[in-house]
Amino acid sequence: MLELREVSTRYGPITVLRSVSLAVGAGQLACLLGPNGAGKTTLIRTILGIVRPVSGSIWLDGARIDRLRPHQIVARGVAVVPEGRRLFPKMTVEENLRMGAFIEWAPADFAARRDHVFSLFPRLAERRRQSAATMSGGEQAMLAMGRALMSRPRLLLLDEPSLGLAPVLVEQLFAMVQAINQSGTTVFLVEQNARKTLEIAHHGFLLQKGEVVGAGSAESLRRSELVRHAYLRT
């Protein structure tokens, strides 16, 4: 479904991604693990078209998307929970959800989609007229997820959704990600929490200093020396 072929990205003179190649098949739950500064967020932004790659190509369902603008890429069924969630703090829960469906411009089934998100996250329904900034971290994480689901994406990109959450909430969040994947959405999960991530992912990639240094099934990654040493500390 999603494929990156030797993608390199630069911010001015600094090369952030070096010839990154990876592929995520339809219906899969793939993960990207890597330490701070490895280029994970840049990779997400490159897929979304917010950052343009200097070389290489990105393909979505066999069509090349690396020359498209972000709104065109979102319109092809990609949704994202960005790094730090980036909710619209002054807007209400309902307005944040509206923005999730913005790409289709007032879809007729907006109410149905919203109610579906409310059924996944009942807390959001209780707070629908409350501004996003006044919610707890866990609720904000739910809202960010709900907003991304409002466009009924085929590919969901998650950039460290567990950041700053209490362990019990992280548990719930990963269960939710798994459920979303099982309902048919392809998920590309970027995380630092390697243990939890490898429990739910089908396969994954390791990113270090802008390069893919490892790839394979979740099982093989769990066993690899590199991951055990760097992330699992066993």
> Which residues here bind other proteins, judged by CB under 8 A?
48, 50, 69-71, 74-75, 80, 82, 86-92, 94-95, 98-100, 102-103, 105-106, 129, 147, 151
Tokens 């007229």 sit at which residue? 129
* C-beta closer to other proteins: residue 91 or 169: 91
Minimum distance between the CB of residue 97 and other proteins, rounded to whole angstroms? 11
Minimum distance between the CB of residue 116 and other proteins, rounded to whole angstroms? 17
Report the alpha-carbon angle 103-84-120, nearest 5.
60
* C-beta closer to other proteins: residue 151 or 186: 151
Minimum distance between the CB of residue 130 and other proteins, rounded to whole angstroms? 10
Minimum distance between the CB of residue 229 and other proteins, rounded to whole angstroms? 34
Minimum distance between the CB of residue 222 and other proteins, rounded to whole angstroms? 31
* C-beta closer to other proteins: residue 48 or 170: 48
The token pair that represents 126 in the structure block: 């209780």
DSSP at 89: T
Question: Burial, 216: exposed, middle or buried (Cβ in 10 Å; 0-12, 13-18, 19+)?
Answer: middle
* C-beta closer to other proteins: residue 3 or 94: 94
* C-beta closer to other proteins: residue 87 or 189: 87
Q: For residue 34, report the phi and psi dihedrals to the nearest 5 degrees.
A: 175, 155
Q: How far apart are CA 27 and CA 16, in angstroms?
A: 29
Minimum distance between the CB of residue 91 and other proteins, rounded to whole angstroms? 7
* C-beta closer to other proteins: residue 93 or 227: 93
